[in-house]
Structure formats: structure tokens, C-alpha cells
Structure 1
């Protein structure tokens, strides 16, 4: 009888998880269509669907649909932007799951290692020092990527002694120190800007935007996201065991140093590739994993899938508000996500939910 009850519970949990996956997938698809439809020029969702179907099937299912201008707006401008939002939202949420597990800190997020500060410093350096004309149109993203990688390497080298220690406290404190240094350098660069346009561009970039989305920049972050997601999914059992504590994980045969080092490297690589394109978009990695834990618990296989879907939906919707609140002016998307994430952060503090799954 006891085995039968366990099997029934397992089957019920599996059905519940599949239901959420199906529901979130449908919501994501609907969100994509609505996000493409909304803008300075409103396009009927039905027409958006037809144009996407036409383009994705290269006209084999539908003939010519919409005007050339409408097709260009949908396919060349809005669809790449929505896809970038989905990739970035899913990636940051996944990084949040990884960082909260490694640090065993429920208020950790992808930028806890100072990656966003390093990226901001690299991008602002290019904007203010005029490197764009020397390197090319993508030099801001290149500068941000280099800055984020330098920050991540410094935190890993100092915080873990090149993988020799698993001290969470040392890692977090190192990240805070590196972040402070890069933030100070960023502010110094902004104050040294020769004109207001440079300062404005620098400040806008530091709070994030999906405005630079183009087809030719989507492939790299997408590939990195897929690779990281597959590797983390394979390591999900080890992540579950890590939540029991380092000592218990070692007793159960887990190589804690290797697992933590791998997660830090993967999180740094994924966050860097995203921040280099979109800028620093905050609170997604903090908010989304907690929402998903309320749905699927602490099982990292479920968390990885749920967080990716919810993160994609959340950022796409945030971008719709960023574009639509004060048209034709676009609000930096980081402001929208912070307005949602800030109150949620206060909710966590007020409810003292500092652990994974219970109250302190």
C-alpha cells in the first residue's frame, strides 16, 4: 500500500509539472504574438501570426500576407527584439537558479559576482573613450563582454582561489568588492564624458535595453543558453544535493569544488553573453526562481525548465511596458523589472523566507 501511495504521488506531481509546462508554453506563444503586435504602429495579432507563419515556412503554408512595410516591422524589427527578450529572460532566470544554489543564498542573483558592473564599465569605456569608431559598430557589446569576463575571472580567481575553496562567504564578499570597484570606474568614466549625449547613452545602457536586437546578434547568446541549459540539466541531481550542505554533499560522493567551479564558469559565460547585448537588466534572476519554487519545489530539473519559461515571459512583458508606457519614448527595461523585483525583494524580507522551501 505504501509503495502504491508513493507512486500515485509521483504520478500526480508529474502530471502537475506537465500541466504547468504546457500552460507556460501557451502563455509564452501568446505573449510573443502580443508583444509583436503592440508598438507605435499597432498590428492585428492575427496578421502577426500569418506573417510569422509565412516567414518561418518560407511561404509554403501561406502566400503573400500583409504589406511589405508590415512584414519588415514584424520580421526585421519586432520579432528579433522579442526573441532577444525571451533568450535574455530565460538565461538570467537560469543563472539566478544556479547562483542561489551555489551560494545557498535565496537572495542571490546573476550579478552577485559583479558581472554586470564589469560589463557596464567595459561598455561605458567604449562609449566615453570613443572606441566605437576604431573597432566597429559592435564595439560596445565587445567592450561589455570583455569587462564582464574580466570581472568574472577576478571573482573566480580570488573568491575560490582558482577552485581550491568552496567558501560561499568569501565568494560573495569578493563579488561585492569587485562590483564596487567596477561601479566606481564606471561612474568616473561617466563624469569624464565630454558631452551630455555620451553620459545619457552610458546611463541608458547600464539599466538595460532590448533596442539593439538584430538577427545577426541572436545566434551566439542562443547557442550559449542552450549549451548551459543542457549541462546544468545533466548536473541537476548534484545541484539538488548541494542544497543539503557541502559536508553532506561530500559524504554522498559529490565533488563539491568541481561542481561549484563549473556552475560559476557557466553562469559567468551565460551572463556575460547576455549583458554584453542588453545591458544590466536586474531582478529577473532574483524573482523568477522563487516564483518557480512555489510551483515546482526545489527539484532543479523542474526549476531549470520552469524558470526559463517564466523568465522569458516576464522579460517580454516588461519590454512591452517599457515601449508602451510613454510612446514614442522608450523606458530602459531595467526600470520596469526593478519596479517589480524591488517590492518582491521586500516581500521576501518581510516574510523572512531566507531558505529554500521554508521559513527561517
Structure 2
């Protein structure tokens, strides 16, 4: 094993440990604090279905840990990791260092779908209805961008794709604004605005299975295409010269990323900055090799969103701050710090 590979393996072990620690930390903090020792002991007992640790905590906190906080923290890890690897993929195929998972306008479509359900559905609207509306809106937006921006996969032009995404995003944002303006009461407006800024409060065990499967599937596909992604960074003409089918590769990436982001945004709303800054952080330590970049981004994205959600739940308990506010407050200055101090460039070099 080379020294570089050894450093990367050590980094992955550190990040894996940090992810586990952040999960325990996230479950511990909230409107009421639960000792971290009680959390990890209960979780180990629960997962193994054995009483490895003696029960010294109050029984009523078990439902708080398992039914409320644990699924929320796991959804944070799934969403953060999914947004991060989607950012890696979008930055690669567009060759745009400021691209993020929402560059195709998917978040705008999801917002339109969710707000339409909130405003037009009345008082009987439930969480599943809002999630379903957001998913339909996101998927519809993604398909429109794909059909127009790539001419059904025949012409994968970066400029055409970005401009189409911008135009479609503007249209759906306008639809959302019209819907909010037409809302009949302030509660509908508040719900629509809160959802559009991101929230993980809807997390339940039965609702994190689909995002998890989608993340595993898209991550696996991305790893299989890692070498092709490395070649794409050299330019489409170079990729074609070595025999790579650029159009097919980009089509697969766009469609799979659209599906993943549609599912995540439908569950959590629009959470900014993760898909933008996490890939850059990981490139600084791992370089531009996508095999390394994808795994490190998955872990860092999960850690980052868990920490942000923990802060959002803990500042003004028992109320939650929309998590998009926290990610922007932390992510924006940190991104500026990276650019200013390190002279960062897209390839991860100083």
C-alpha cells in the first residue's frame, strides 16, 4: 500500500468514526438532553436485541430516542450524503465548480409541488401528501430539463443543460410565488415557507427506507462510473478520443441524480450549500479522483447535515429552525474562508 493510499484509508476511518459520533451526538441533543452514554448503550441493546448494557435510564426516554430522534438523525445522514455525492456528479458533468444538486431546478419543482398541496389541499393535508406533491413536482421538473436540455439524451451540452435548468427553475419558482400569494391564511404561508427552507421533522422509520435504497443505488452506480467521471474532467473531446460514450454516461448521471434529489427534496425540502461546499472540502484532502471523492463526500455530507440539524433543534427548543438557514450560515462563510485562504481551484490544488 502506497503512502497516499494509507493516508486516504486513515481519513476514511476518521470520517467513519466521526459519523458514528455525530449520530450519537445528534440523538442526545434536542429540546431535552439525553446523556450520550445512555444513548449509545440503548442503541446497542436495541440493534443487537440483547441487554448488553444494564438499563439505568428512564424508560420514557427510549421512545424519544428510537421513535423520534434516531430516524431523524439517520435521515440527516442519508440526505447529507446524497446531496454531497449529487453535487460531485453535477460539478463533474457540467465542469462548473459552483454547480450544486439543484442546478437542474429540481428544488424549485419540488417546492411548487409541495406548496400546491399545502395551499390547495386545505386543512386535511398530511405529511405524505406534501411529500408526494414535492416528489411529483421535482420529477416533473427534472424530466422537462432532461427532455429540453439534452434533446432526449441526444445532445449533452453543458451550457444548454445549465440554461435550461435556470429557465425551468425560474418558471417553477414563479408558480410557487403565485401559490403562496394566493394562500387563504397565514398558517399555509408559514408551512410553505418553512418547508421551502428545509426541515427534517417529518422523519419516521417507515419513511427513510426509500431514500436509503435510492442513495445506495445511485452511490453504487457512481462508483462503477468513477473512472469515466475522471476522464470527463479532461473534456468531452478527450473522453471521446479514448472511446468513451460521453452522451450515455452523462444521461445515466443526470437521470440517476434527478431521481435521488427528487426523493431527498420531497422528504426534507430544499437544503442548500451541502452539495456545493462538501465536494470542494473533500477535493482539498482527496484530490479529484472520483473513487475517493465520492466516498469521502458521502461521509462528510452526512456528518455536516447531522451537526446542522442538531444545532437547528437545540437553539430555540422546542421549536426547530429551518435547517437550510443553518447550512447557509455555516456553509457560506466556510466556503469563503476556503477560497480566500487556500486559493482553491476546481481540481483541488492550491
> Which TM-score band (shorter chain)?
over 0.9
Contact preservation (8 Å) 1:105, 1:354 = no
Tell me: CA distance 1:108–1:139, structure 2 relative to 1, closer, same or farther (3 Å): same
Residue 102 of structure 2 aligns to a residue in which SS?
Answer: helix
Task: Give, in whole Å, the separation in 2 of the partners of 1:352 and 1:339.
Answer: 21
> What is the aligned partner in structure 2 of residue 266 from structure 1?
256
Q: Which is worse superposed, 215-224 or 52-61?
A: 52-61
> What is the aligned partner in structure 2 of residue 68 from structure 1?
59
> What is the aligned partner in structure 1 of residue 36 from structure 2?
45
Q: TM-score, normalised by structure 2?
A: 0.96
Equivalent of 2:89 in 89, 98, 110: 98
Q: For residues 4-153 of structure 1, what are the structure 2 equivalents within 5 Å?
A: 11-59=2-50, 61-62=52-53, 64=55, 66-130=57-121, 133=124, 137-153=127-143
Task: Give, in whole Å, the separation in 1 of the partners of 2:82 and 2:123.
Answer: 27
Question: Residue deviations 1:170-195, cap 9 Å, x none?
Answer: 10010000000000100110010000
Task: Give, in whole Å, the separation in 2 of the partners of 1:272 and 1:132.
Answer: 25
> What is the aligned partner in structure 1 of residue 167 from structure 2?
177
Q: For residues 256-335 of structure 1, what are the structure 2 equivalents within 5 Å?
A: 256-335=246-325
Query: Runs of 5+ in structure 2 lacking a partner?
Result: none
Contact preservation (8 Å) 2:104, 2:142 = yes
Task: Give, in whole Å, the separation in 2 of the partners of 1:268 and 1:94.
Answer: 12
Equivalent of 2:183 in 185, 188, 193: 193
Contact preservation (8 Å) 2:232, 2:239 = yes
Q: TM-score, normalised by structure 1?
A: 0.93
- The Cα of 1:59 is off from its aligned counterpart by 2.3
Task: Give, in whole Å, the separation in 2 of the partners of 1:349 and 1:307.
Answer: 18
Q: Which is worse superposed, 30-39 or 104-113?
A: 30-39
Question: Residue deviations 1:221-254, cap 9 Å, x none?
Answer: 0000001101110110000000000000000111
Task: Give, in whole Å, the separation in 1 of the partners of 2:164 and 2:131.
Answer: 25
Tell me, yes or no, if structure 1 residue 230 matches structure 2 residue 220. yes
Task: Give, in whole Å, the separation in 1 of the partners of 2:338 and 2:54.
Answer: 52
- The Cα of 1:257 is off from its aligned counterpart by 0.1
- The Cα of 1:39 is off from its aligned counterpart by 1.4
Question: Residue deviations 1:260-309, cap 9 Å, x none?
Answer: 00000111011011000000000100000000001110000101100000
Equivalent of 1:243 in 227, 233, 245: 233
Residue 112 of structure 2 aligns to a residue in which SS?
Answer: helix
Residue 285 of structure 2 aligns to a residue in which SS?
Answer: helix
Task: Give, in whole Å, the separation in 2 of the partners of 1:158 and 1:354.
Answer: 31
Tell me: CA distance 1:137–1:288, structure 2 relative to 1, closer, same or farther (3 Å): closer
Q: Which is worse superposed, 61-70 or 180-189?
A: 61-70
- The Cα of 1:64 is off from its aligned counterpart by 4.4
What count of residue pairs does the alignment treat as equivalent? 349
Contact preservation (8 Å) 2:135, 2:265 = yes
Contact preservation (8 Å) 1:132, 1:140 = no
Task: Give, in whole Å, the separation in 2 of the partners of 1:87 and 1:37.
Answer: 19
Contact preservation (8 Å) 2:280, 2:348 = no
Equivalent of 1:161 in 151, 154, 161: 151
Tell me: CA distance 1:291–1:14, structure 2 relative to 1, closer, same or farther (3 Å): same
- The Cα of 1:342 is off from its aligned counterpart by 2.2
Query: Runs of 5+ in structure 1 lacking a partner?
Result: 1-9
Tell me: CA distance 1:221–1:252, structure 2 relative to 1, closer, same or farther (3 Å): same
Task: Give, in whole Å, the separation in 2 of the partners of 1:89 and 1:55.
Answer: 25
Residue 326 of structure 1 aligns to a residue in which SS?
Answer: coil
Contact preservation (8 Å) 1:80, 1:213 = yes
Tell me: CA distance 1:239–1:67, structure 2 relative to 1, closer, same or farther (3 Å): same
> What is the aligned partner in structure 2 of residue 7 from structure 1?
none
